[in-house]
Amino acid sequence: PRITGFELLDALKKVAPRVTIVLVTAYARELGPVIRLEHVQAKIADCLPKPLDIGAVHALLRRLAARRHLEALGRT
């Protein structure tokens, strides 16, 4: 890769500022403080650690879909 995940995140936000982004990393523990900072600065929806837990993915997708639905209704 020629860019980092965070550089990709910045590029995505410039092109599609409303896109919902979830980080998936095997380095969640090591990147914890950076990821928390990025949550605030880049509005990352969440970060999931590898290996993925399908139940956690399903729960996150339900939360994100509900949030997007409320936004569409103008309730957030």
Write down the pLDDT at residue 1.
Answer: 66
Cα–Cα dist 8/4, whole Å: 6
> Which letter, b or e, does each residue of 11-34 get, where b requires 16 or more Cβ atoms within 10 Å of its Cβ?
eeeeeeeeeebebeeeeeeebeee
Write down the pLDDT at residue 69.
Answer: 94
- pLDDT confidence of 66, banded at 50, 70, 90? very high
Higher pLDDT, 38 or 23: 23
Count: domains in the chain: 1
* Structure tokens, 33: 């403080």
The domain of 18 spans: 5-72
